[in-house]
Chains A and B, each alone.
Chain A
Amino acid sequence: MKTNFPWPEGASNAVAVTVNFDAESYDLLSTTPDRLYGRFSYGRYGVRAGLPRLLDVLAKNEVRSTFFVTGVDAQRHANALQRISEAGHEVASRGASMKRPDAAQELTWLRDGIDAVSQATGKPVLGYRSPDNELTPRTLYHLLELGLIYDSTFQDDDAPYRFALSAGKLAEIPISFALGDAQGFSARHSHQRVLQIWRDETEALLAADALIPLTLHLRGDFGSSRAARIAMLDTYFQTLRARSNAPFVTCADLARWTLETVEVPEEGDPYEVHADTLANTVYRGDLAVKPI
């Protein structure tokens, strides 16, 4: 069953490669700035060893992508962000740090993250992906207030759509963890098995005229920047190029298209309809029986 999405360039799909930068920001969830050594240096690996390789394989395959970077990482790695930006990739925001603040501080925290990235690249930030993949009921409104045009955190569709809110319209570029590196590599799957997942997912997305939202990480642990994984990525891109002429797009390009194209479906506030019920329910834990 096809999406009926009016893709740019009259294509049947679009490919949105995104990279969650998640360097020291991620390690700082587990330790303090004076202890970013040993097991807490996988984030630094991604920038020192991984980034040049990743930029090379993207360039080799003529892939434009979008990097989501926290304010903490943007301040630590301003030069890296400049290199990414100069290579033609988009740099967007992943918040001020990987730890989201209380809801009351969210607007300031979002602004700090956006400012840090735009200071490093010298370009405006147009989009956001939440660092823990969670949003508050106000997040989408804050993004509009801060001049952003899209969010890319939801996992609820096969193609972009628009949120029509009282504060304005915001594009949503939905992703899927299934087409990413972190789940498979953190489960210690082999490269071969993760590539198999990507192939299974991609073949079916191509046939469904869906967005192909490959979500990568830079890190040396569950990310894709080790040499063997870069080789795997190269294989994936070549296979995809051979199978399809779908354009590789940045999230900002796709967001502009989503906002400008009348036929794109529009949705209302995703929280409001649940607000009353949520006020009367409490977190009761996971429903599934965990593996022993």
Chain B
Amino acid sequence: MTMTKTSLPAHMKCVVLLGVDFDGPCHEVGRGIAPLGIHSWGRYSAKRGVPRHLDMCQRLGVPCTFFVPGYDAELYPEVVKSIDRNGCEVAAHGYLHEAWDMEGEEEERLLRKTDDILSNLLGKPVLGWRSPSGRKSAKTMQVLRSMGYIYDSSDKDYDLPYRWRFTNAAGESDTIIELPNNTYSLDDFPFYKFSYTPPSEVLDQWLAEFDAIYNGDRFFVLTVHPRSGWGSGTPSRTQVFEEVIRHIQKYEGVHFFSSAEFARWCQQNPELLEEVANV
């Protein structure tokens, strides 16, 4: 295990990863709630939010990773295919957006189930996973690696990408790229679910985050949701998402990646990445 801090090359003034967690009706259905009335926010994702976010990505010319639960992909296969067709990445995000505190075999069964759904739908392998709810176990990385995934984007423990080293299911030393995020600051739901912050204030918040990161660790990971309610699929909140990106695009040396593209870059530049042994 090395203890060298990850250091991005000088020409990469800042790496930006945009993520959209699809979170359709599975978010409610997985908890036993019918997606009717107030609980219909997830229905917005496929109808309006995802097409609006794809349209935005295309207009701005930025890559984006959509983390899609398996159940939503079964409900809306054409919408998920359109993500791939538009040049954006589809990654995995649980089956029914589980709270991910399950034991033993259930975790592996669910990871494989969603992987099968997404890879069969797209005709290509899935390369990454983000935990629904943010929970993860020591076993998660073993299963992800056994399915050929190259990155996880669930941990909250650092401001830079790094490499986990761990013992895989076959008993061998293995690695996976970790792309950490923060669901308190660079995520939409805390502002729209808890504090009901005006969208224009959320914009100010995220611009302040970017400016601090641009002058600091230079790794910016923003997560939004295409649903209505506490998500960012609606016109006002998509506009905030767009204005953040437009702001970032004004800065010199900013590199936008999909999560998989950046994980590949990390794999190709192993000497620049901090390696951390599994705890």
Contacts and interface: CB of A to CB of B under 8 A. Distances in A.
B31 interface: yes
B99 A284 contact: yes
B229 A283 contact: no
Contacts of A273: 75
Interface of A, secondary structure class, is: loop
A278 B37 contact: no
Given A134-B37, A156-B47, A157-B48, A283 B31 contact: yes
A33 interface: no
A153 B198 contact: no
B33 interface: yes
A282 interface: yes
A43 B200 CA distance: 32
Contact of B38 (A134, A270, A271): A134
Nearest to A282: B32
Nearest to B132: A287
A108 interface: no
A288 B99 contact: no
Interface string B66-85: 00000100010000000000
A277 interface: yes
Contact of B31 (A134, A139, A207, A287): A287
B196 interface: yes
Interface in A202-248: 203-205, 207-208, 210
A1 interface: yes
A31 interface: no
30 contacts: A1-B55, A135-B37, A137-B34, A137-B36, A139-B36, A154-B43, A155-B37, A155-B41, A156-B41, A156-B43, A156-B44, A156-B228, A176-B229, A177-B38, A187-B195, A187-B196, A196-B200, A197-B199, A204-B234, A270-B36, A271-B36, A274-B25, A274-B29, A274-B35, A277-B96, A278-B32, A281-B29, A284-B99, A287-B31, A287-B97
In the A-B complex, the 6 residue pairs with the closest CB atoms: A133-B38, A204-B235, A204-B236, A156-B43, A156-B40, A208-B235
Interface of A: 1, 130, 132-137, 139, 153-158, 174, 176-178, 183-184, 187, 189, 193, 196-197, 200-201, 203-205, 207-208, 210, 270-271, 273-274, 277-278, 281-285, 287-288, 290-291
Given A200-B200, A201-B236, A208-B235, 18 more contacts: A130-B37, A137-B34, A139-B36, A153-B36, A153-B38, A154-B40, A156-B43, A158-B48, A193-B198, A197-B196, A204-B239, A273-B75, A277-B71, A278-B29, A283-B32, A284-B30, A285-B31, A287-B31
